[in-house]
Structure 1
Amino acid sequence: MKASARHIAALAALGILSGASTLALAPRALAEAGHPDRAATVRPSNTRLEWQVGRQDDGGPPPVRFVYGLDTDVAVWGDWDNNGSKTPGVFRAGRWLLRNSLSAGNADVEVSYGRAGDVPVVGDWDGDGRVGIGVVRGRLWYLRETVTAGPERQFGYGTVGDLPVTGDWNGDGTDTPGVFRAGDWFLRNSTTAGDAEATFRYGRAGDIPVVGDWDGDGRVGVGVVRDHTWFLRHDVLGGTHHLSFPYGDGRAYPVYGPPRVLGPIPPAPAVTPIVWGRFPHPAPADSDAQLIANILRNANRYAGRTWWSSAGFAAQTTPYLTFNGTGELNIRGPANQAFALAVSLRTGAYNASHAGVSAAEARQRAVRLAVSLAARHQVNAVSGWGSHWQSALWTARAGFAAWLLWEDLPAADRENVARMVAAEANRFIGYSVPYYRDRSGAIVSPGDTKAEENAWNAMVLQVAVAMMPNHPNARTWNSKNVELMISAFSRPSDVGNSTVVNGRAVSDWLKGSNANEDGVLINHGFAHPDYSTTVAQNAHAALTSSMAGQATPRAAFWGAETIYDALVDKVWVPGTTYPPRGMVLQPGGTCYVDDSPRLYYPQGNDWGTDRYIQPTLLDVQAQAFGFDRLASQKGLYWQRLHGQGVLNQQARSTDGRTYQTATEDTYAGREELVAVTAAEAYLTKWIVAQNAWRTSNDPV
């Protein structure tokens, strides 16, 4: 029986089915009826693979656990002896080592097929009721009709990078290939090359596709596993998921999914906790510090009364929060709020009555955010977040938050945090630092300064060095940290500058520049003052170093005076041109506007023109760390203006939010950004009050 045109059209209208759609829906012989596939996972454990085979549709503990294979093997799952029960196996560089029972022991069957790097696949390729094996190599499929010897089929299907899946898509008794591509399924009805005979969307990028008979009706179903929650539907084409349940943990991988090498969990590096006895002085009580504290308290109020629930966290009961994805808008906001709460709680700025959440509950939330972010990182979780062009920034926030709350973290979570920070820091060993201009002055990244990117990449190295000063890679991390910081706000003349900073001449550190000679930064294709405020990301080194009892590298402030002075004192003349965009807009003058919190944007701003919190942090740090010298030491004057502007914005709403509409700040994570920025500003004030800050020009 073929799917009716009406049925297919209905599925297409629902967005479930698209493209070619000739899947036959003939019922399969129900030889396996009443025996649904059970959730089953494999995870690395002490150099071995631990298998956990569970119930059909709940998140209860697995009734069967055993160890089989090495953590460098690829797990496979199939009915090797054709007795109606699936059992474990491993693929080891072309050798198949298969068990016929759910238990530890030696292989019952061993066969050679494929080679190292192949992806093993399993299915009944000829419909004879016996399982066969195969491998996928790039986009080439090689299938053998039995577990041992037998006829071989070869064909191409999918593209490199697809996740291979196999199943009896049309119920004819024969398993055929398919691929999963960022939420889209492309399925064939024969073991031959050709176009997909059905496509549909179920899941999203980062999900792990799974295939099985979930209800025991003899028909194959599909599903995805996301953050160890299984979303399953009982057939290939119909509807959304029929059931969902949590099963496994962050390092567990579903055996029904595309096989992969899990590899050992890296050992957790040793972390040196913050010695809080180094900070004996009271929190700053002057009016300027209280202005910043009040901004932070309002941000805490918004986090407690609105954000926690609107983000979906209040309804989650699992030990680790689910962030519903691995991208910027999933991870950065929670990391920012974790840091903001941690700073507020540890410095005494937190006000429970104002926030509407007790300090104990706020601390519990901050810890839960931090440990969940660590548990969901790819070094600790299959298909986790990380290794993203911006993930160094997210890791810096999450790792610093966890470090501030270290004594509240269970031992396993401390290990997750340490692995997360070390893994992201290690990404920059041997990293080639990018630039807006090369050493000759030629623009190599048109319209796109690398200042902010280099500064935030340095941030994770600062956190790593502060938390793990005895790590074998600590010196390498710190050297790359210094290189990134010097590069971030370097000017064309700096490539010839002989000034020695942290052991080397500036000219030796640099391979180009990221700011114009006058201190202006170009991003998004025009002069963009918002990116000048990211000098604060370099100054972040003073916060991590001070909390660790270390000296801040002088490199943290390289170029900061010039960049800050360009905001304060550079006069823009309307009608003149400034490359690359050209015309300078009315009314002209300086970017910092006397007696006003508002900034003048000489060539416009695509982020909105009511962003006062970013200059507030820069002003606080310019005054605290002394890089407002060229700007007539007016950092305190400007922080009062800009900070009061933020407080005035927050006073408009009962829940402490800063922005009324997205037009004031178009960034989707704007409130979380206010929270983390205010936290950095207050932590700066607090560190200065503790007399905990010092600099060093020693070699790194």
Structure 2
Amino acid sequence: MKITKPVRHVAALVTSTVMAATLQISAAHGATPADQVQPVAWNTFGTYSAGDAAGQRVKKVLADESRYLIGPNYASKYTSYLPDGYLNLGGTDEGAVRYPAMTALSVSAALKLGAYNPVGLSAANATIRDVNLIRTIAARHKANNTDSTTAWGYGWQTSLWAYYDGMAAWLMWDKLSVTDRDKVVNMLVAEANRFTTGNDVYLIGTSGAQLYMTRKDGTVVSAGDSKVEENQWSAALLGLTTAMMPGHPQAAAWKTRHAQLLVAATAGPADLTGTSTVDGIKLSTWLQGSNIGDDGTVINHGIVHPIYMILDQGLDEAATAGLANTCAPVAAKRNVDSVYDALVDKKYPTSSGGTNTIYQPGSANIFYPQGNDWGTTFAGYFGGFDNLVSLYGADNLVTTKAATWAQLHDNAQIALQARYTDGHTYASGTENSYGGREQRIGAIYGLNYLSLWLNKNSAGNKTCWS
């Protein structure tokens, strides 16, 4: 979650090249784009009852939030179709594309993994609405759509929007038509291929954003604005395309860039002179800058910002890979333990002259050392991260383990939803000013539940790190 910046479009030539490459690949294979996808082999998985404490909590949050998103929220927002038969999303910006994509991911996870609550809307009707969102978002991408009034894509954050929609589509692959599948693939390939034109300095060729907040020589590239988040969401898309399409002609390039973005995301100053090699990348040689402090702090919006210390996007990589029965790059969880320690145990100065930790012992309350420009109430954000940290053992440095914090924060999230009968979380923008706050909770807990489902599956743990 980041304040929306001016969208940085790549040059028209790059856009044309990506679209042309997509069409050439399809023609070369003599098949539709969707034929390159390896569907999830659901028959290789067992079941998950969510009988454990974490599972019960996460399932409850997901069931309620997804019920709200695909029920009242959908009904109020998506009231008409355009002449081409797709939903009217109401625009091409973040609110018009990312928000419904997060809804689709939340609902797809709930439906596919048995967590959907049919109160108010049957699972069959929820599936129809969910598929409507998935197919419309993909159809509106510039790889499939030349209408400038409805087309989105090739922007600063659009790889994240494509990731959400693509993950939702992969979960619901059997519910999509061949035409819809093709459009999903075109969208994913077009967004992923943008990152293979880059190098160790830039995200997107020489016209995009840099990978680091601070350069190796000490130059501050983007003052007060860590690039952890951009790198991780770009990597998330590449992890998804690689998992879905391991035989694609671009898969090797995606895999390489995937590891590079993950390594850059959580690079600290000490990595620039260390001797470690991660996923085949020698850090001191390849890295050209850093994004986090060696003490685990993350600077964003010009402050030490706990919201941006929630590194759930990296840990979600294990679930993406797990669906393909492969391992996630170990770079995806590198330095998460030190960042988590900075949330739990590091002491920060207070205005009264004392010190305080971000996580408050025995409480779901959060201390924001330099304030929080997003609002006051983020229990679900931290609870989702705690659950992943606990699952993957990234709490090895802290005095109080992640499972304890997960219980506190999840229960606080459940209490927020208990205020309403329709399953939503927030009372107002004062609690959380982000426009997609409800959808963000849905996506967090959808991916949380998928991670639990894979880790605690009756057929054995299906996640691993290479």
With normalisation by structure 2, the TM-score equals: 0.88
- 1:361 corresponds in structure 2 to 125
What are the residue-to-residue correspondences of 1:21-170 with 2, within 5 Å? none
In structure 2, give the amino acid aligned to 1:493.
Answer: A
Q: State yes or no: 1:273 paired with 2:39.
A: yes
- 1:542 corresponds in structure 2 to 318
Q: CA–CA distance in 1 between the matches of 2:194 and 2:110?
A: 30
Q: CA–CA distance in 2 between the matches of 1:310 and 1:396?
A: 25
Q: Deviations over 1:188-219 (max 9, x none)?
A: xxxxxxxxxxxxxxxxxx9xxxxxxxxxxxxx
What are the residue-to-residue correspondences of 1:136-535 with 2, within 5 Å? 266=23, 267=26, 268=33, 270-311=36-77, 313-316=78-81, 319-353=85-119, 356-382=120-146, 383=148, 384-431=151-198, 432-433=202-203, 434-533=211-310, 535=311
Change (3 A) 1:552 1:345: same
Q: How many Å apart are 1:504 and its aligned residue?
A: 2.4
- 1:257 corresponds in structure 2 to none
Q: Secondary structure at the match of 1:630?
A: coil
Q: How many Å apart are 1:362 and its aligned residue?
A: 0.9
Change (3 A) 1:405 1:375: same
Q: Deviations over 1:332-371 (max 9, x none)?
A: 1000000000000111111212xx1101111111111111
Q: CA–CA distance in 1 between the matches of 2:405 and 2:397?
A: 14
Q: Secondary structure at the match of 1:336?
A: helix
Determine which of 414, 424, 449 is the counterpart of 1:657: 424
Task: Check the 8 A contact 1:487/1:513 in 2, yes or no.
Answer: yes
Comparing 687-696 with 623-632, greater Cα deviation is found at: 687-696
Q: How many Å apart are 1:265 and its aligned residue?
A: 7.0
In structure 2, give the amino acid aligned to 1:361.
Answer: N
Q: CA–CA distance in 2 between the matches of 1:296 and 1:587?
A: 38
In structure 1, give the amino acid aligned to 2:335.
Answer: G
Task: Check the 8 A contact 1:596/1:641 in 2, yes or no.
Answer: yes
In structure 2, give the amino acid aligned to 1:457.
Answer: S
Change (3 A) 1:357 1:586: farther
Task: Check the 8 A contact 2:224/2:302 in 1, yes or no.
Answer: yes
Comparing 408-417 with 431-440, greater Cα deviation is found at: 431-440
Q: CA–CA distance in 2 between the matches of 1:597 and 1:367?
A: 36
Determine which of 388, 408, 428 is the counterpart of 1:621: 388
Determine which of 605, 616, 620 is the counterpart of 2:372: 605
Q: CA–CA distance in 1 between the matches of 2:380 and 2:156?
A: 24
Change (3 A) 1:586 1:399: farther
Q: Secondary structure at the match of 1:551?
A: coil
- 2:451 corresponds in structure 1 to 684
Q: Secondary structure at the match of 2:396?
A: coil
Q: Deviations over 1:97-145 (max 9, x none)?
A: xxxxxxxxxxxxxxxxxxxxxxxxxxxxxxxxxxxxxxxxxxxxxxxxx
Q: CA–CA distance in 2 between the matches of 1:315 and 1:643?
A: 36
Determine which of 341, 348, 351 is the counterpart of 1:572: 348
Q: Secondary structure at the match of 1:572?
A: strand
Q: How many Å apart are 1:416 and its aligned residue?
A: 0.5
Q: Secondary structure at the match of 1:507?
A: helix
- Normalized per residue, which structure has more strand? 1
Task: Check the 8 A contact 1:590/1:600 in 2, yes or no.
Answer: yes
With normalisation by structure 1, the TM-score equals: 0.59
In structure 2, give the amino acid aligned to 1:299.
Answer: E
In structure 1, give the amino acid aligned to 2:410.
Answer: G
Alignment RMSD: 1.8
Q: How many Å apart are 1:315 and its aligned residue?
A: 4.0
In structure 1, give the amino acid aligned to 2:276.
Answer: T
Q: Secondary structure at the match of 2:222?
A: coil
- Normalized per residue, which structure has more helix? 2
- 2:360 corresponds in structure 1 to 593
Q: Number of residues paired by the alignment? A: 424
In structure 2, give the amino acid aligned to 1:646.
Answer: Q
Q: How many Å apart are 1:692 and its aligned residue?
A: 3.6
Q: How many Å apart are 1:317 and its aligned residue?
A: 7.8
Change (3 A) 1:366 1:590: same
Q: Secondary structure at the match of 2:428?
A: coil
Q: Deviations over 1:51-110 (max 9, x none)?
A: xxxxxxxxxxxxxxxxxxxxxxxxxxxxxxxxxxxxxxxxxxxxxxxxxxxxxxxxxxxx
Q: CA–CA distance in 1 between the matches of 2:419 and 2:354?
A: 28
Percent identity of paired positions between Structure 1 and Structure 2? 36
In structure 2, give the amino acid aligned to 1:429.
Answer: T
- 2:207 corresponds in structure 1 to none
Change (3 A) 1:477 1:524: same
Q: Deviations over 1:403-449 (max 9, x none)?
A: 10001111011110111111100010132242011112332210111
Q: How many Å apart are 1:505 and its aligned residue?
A: 1.9
Q: CA–CA distance in 1 between the matches of 2:154 and 2:309?
A: 26
Q: CA–CA distance in 1 between the matches of 2:405 and 2:437?
A: 22
- 1:29 corresponds in structure 2 to none
Q: Deviations over 1:553-578 (max 9, x none)?
A: 11111111111110011011225xxx
Q: CA–CA distance in 2 between the matches of 1:518 and 1:440?
A: 20
In structure 2, give the amino acid aligned to 1:497.
Answer: G
Q: CA–CA distance in 2 between the matches of 1:395 and 1:508?
A: 32
Q: How many Å apart are 1:326 and its aligned residue?
A: 1.1
Q: CA–CA distance in 2 between the matches of 1:631 and 1:591?
A: 13
Q: CA–CA distance in 2 between the matches of 1:408 and 1:594?
A: 46
Q: How many Å apart are 1:314 and its aligned residue?
A: 3.8
Q: How many Å apart are 1:634 and its aligned residue?
A: 0.7
Q: Deviations over 1:230-268 (max 9, x none)?
A: xxxxxxxxxxxxxxxxxxxxxxxxxxxxxxxx9797232
Q: How many Å apart are 1:506 and its aligned residue?
A: 2.2
Task: Answer with 1 or 2: which has the greater Rg.
Answer: 1
Q: How many Å apart are 1:388 and its aligned residue?
A: 1.0
Task: Check the 8 A contact 1:591/1:600 in 2, yes or no.
Answer: yes
5+ residue gaps, structure 1, are 1-205, 207-261, 576-584
Change (3 A) 1:600 1:264: closer
